[in-house]
Amino acid sequence: MITITSLKFSYRKRKPLFEDLNLSLSAGHIYGLLGKNGAGKSTLLKQIAGLLFPDGGKCLVMGRHSFKREPAFLQEIFLVPEEFYLPKVSIRTYVKNYAPFYPNFDESAFHSYLKEFDIPYDQQLANMSYGQKKKVIISFALAANTKVLIMDEPTNGLDIPSKSQFRKVIAAAVSEEKCIVISTHQVRDLDNLIDSIVIIDEHKIIFNQSVDTVTDKLSFKLLHQLDDRQQVLYKDSSLRGHSVILKNENMEHSKIDMELLFNAVLSNRQPIQELFN
Amino acid sequence: MQTNNILDFSRLGKYMALHLSVSMRTYVLGILAMFGGMSIFSVITIYSNHTVYSQSDIIPFYYIGMYFIGLLFTSMSFSDFSSKEKSVSFFMLPASSFEKFITAFLFTSVGFLAVYHLCAYTSFHIIDWGMMHRYDKHIVRDWDFFNADKGHIYLYYVYIFLHAIFLLGAISFNKASFIKTLLTACLVPVALGVINVLFLYLLFGNNWIQKPAHLPFVLVAVEKGGNGGVYMISQGMIDTYIFIAKYLLTPIFWTIAYFRLKDKEI
């Protein structure tokens, strides 16, 4: 679905951002693109969306070069940026004007997403708060039924109940034909939502695995006391005890702790990467 | 059915409808301001002590208005680029770059000229009615807008050329595009003039007469020395210049503007 090959890109000459970046994302998955601030997440998403052009290499989305921004490509991709624009019209007018550009737009689904988010259909967009507007654009993006859906920090500005509503609607919208990429630095917001994890650090993809593979190879535990015999790959101590990542030698099933994994990959990269190679 | 990625009339129609719907408030306010301004001008003209006898008395205002408002409006046609959020929305909308370009082009050229002339025509008739009411005289229609011999028609050619320049400026400059385009449009002829002077020094040293006996890239008068006299480029080259200026320059700028839009990144 999304194939990035030997991507080179720089905002300034002599200061490359991406050098020989490779990434392949397939349909039927929800990818969590994780990275620290300034790691290059938004730039990567802009490359996929065709808002930035590669200096070298290729960025193909559904077999099309994204930089060409062809309508056939644009009607199958939706980007929910972190900071977005909605015109000063009513939701009804917005849908009337924008929906015809998306051939698979499902108006009844849009209504149900709005209902889930508790947004009245007749409201003026200009009178809404940032969080409410975000819910409208997320609802529209999901109802557009595009094959690729990209969301950059979608949970920013959402209150706690809305974050759980967000997880609910995304989970309901996923299908075999869709590839959803969610970029965030608030990794806990993606708990129980994503099925694949892509970690970007210092402008490189350093980790790209499915959640199932991660839980097959790693075990996430909360220990009250550390045992020297256990080979701890990463630990994070708190008042509750020690959250640890261990090598899953006994094929135990554990629930992935996204934040712990993210910190582990960033701080103890080599042993973790070796496990997956 | 395969999607036409360059031009699809149904999609173009949808895009124009969207553009109109989103910009309606701005356009209505703009038209009201323009019409209001012209009406105030009409009333001042009627009640001032200077009687308007003929069209040629008020025609400068018509041209100044057309150039100023038209070019200002053109340079605002891609004002979305001043904000990152609006730029993303603009580029991610499933319409081709050509459809987005042609919409801006049509609204700022045909659309503007139609509305402007409607306002100017109405305003003219208000003045005419006022003159008839006050002085019992109609305004003499003594201005031929398309007269080529007197050069009137060239005012429209120049407008269309400047429209192309300001459209390119609107795409190239994200903020304050009117001022930046105006400055660039002034600086380019100055730069060309400097290049011309450099060439003249290279060719004739200090012997060429400066003002007013030279026309950049066309004619130069040499004052002294064995090779004194007037040097002029060939008639063929003059004809080529005229042909380029009349038929090529404007479409070239439109084409550059289109490709500039196609290649724009955020």
Q: What is the pLDDT of residue B75?
A: 97
Q: What is the DSSP string of B185-227?
A: HHHHHHHHHHHHHHHHHHHHTT-B--TTSEETTTEEEE-SSTT
- In this prediction the ipTM stands at 0.92
d(CA B216, CA B208): 12
DSSP code of residue A80: E
Query: Which residue out of B93, B97, B103, B262 would a mutagenesis test of the A interface target, given it has the greatest number of A Cβ atoms within 10 Å?
Result: B93
Q: What is the pLDDT of residues A71-92, one digit of tens each?
A: 999 999 999 999 999 999 999 9
A93/chain B closest Cα distance in angstroms: 8
Average pLDDT over residues B201-223: 74
More confident residue, A190 or B255: B255
Residues contacting residue B222 through CB under 8 Å, at least 6 positions apart: B204, B207, B208, B209, B228, B229, B230, B231
| Interface contact flag, B85 A81, Cβ < 8 Å | yes
- Residue A273 Cα distances to A23, A188, A264, A276, B257, angstroms: 16, 22, 10, 5, 48
Enumerate the residues of chain B whose CB falls inside 8 A of the CB of residue A49. 92
Q: At B87, list the tokens.
A: 């730029």
Q: At CB < 8 Å, which residues of chain B contact A?
A: 2-5, 8, 11, 14, 17-18, 21-22, 25, 83-86, 88-89, 91-97, 262-263, 265-266
Question: Please, which contacts does A112-115 make with residues 24 or more away whose CB atoms are closer than 8 Å?
Answer: A113/A138, A113/A139, A113/A142, A113/A143, A113/A169, A114/A139
Backbone angles phi, psi at B51, to 5 degrees: -75, 135
Query: Which residue out of A10, A11, A43, A69 would a mutagenesis test of the B interface target, given it has the greatest number of B Cβ atoms within 10 Å?
Result: A69
In chain A, where are the structural domains located?
2-202, 212-276
Best CA proximity match to B42, nearest among B108, B139, B183, B187: B139
Residue of chain A with shortest Cα separation from B91: A51
| Interface contact flag, A97 B22, Cβ < 8 Å | yes
Best CA proximity match to A44, nearest among A36, B59, A52, A70: A52
CB-side neighbour CA atoms (13 Å) of A186: 11
Pairing of strands B214-215, B219-222: antiparallel
d(CA A120, CA A243): 42
Q: At B3, list the tokens.
A: 């999607």
Q: What is the pLDDT of residue B52?
A: 67
DSSP code of residue B255: H
Question: What length does chain A have?
Answer: 277
Peptide bond into A87 cis (omega under 30): no
A251/chain B closest Cα distance in angstroms: 45
Burial label for B197, CB within 10 Å (0-12, 13-18, 19+), is middle
Angle at B8 between CA B2 and CA B12, to 5 degrees: 140
Confidence band (pLDDT; 50, 70, 90) for A202?
A: confident
d(CA B104, CA B98): 10
Confidence band (pLDDT; 50, 70, 90) for B212?
A: low
Residue B211 has pLDDT above 60, yes or no: no
| Interface contact flag, A85 B95, Cβ < 8 Å | no
Q: Which CATH number fits domain A2-202: 3.40.50.300, 3.90.650.10, 2.40.50.100, 3.30.930.10?
A: 3.40.50.300
Enumerate the residues of chain B whose CB falls inside 8 A of the CB of residue A84. 85, 88-89
Q: What is the 3-state secondary structure (H, E, C) of B217-238?
A: CCEEEECCCCCCEEEECCHHHH
Q: What is the pLDDT of residues B88-122, one digit of tens each?
A: 999 999 999 999 999 999 999 999 999 999 999 99
Best CA proximity match to A54, nearest among B265, B186, B187, B214: B265
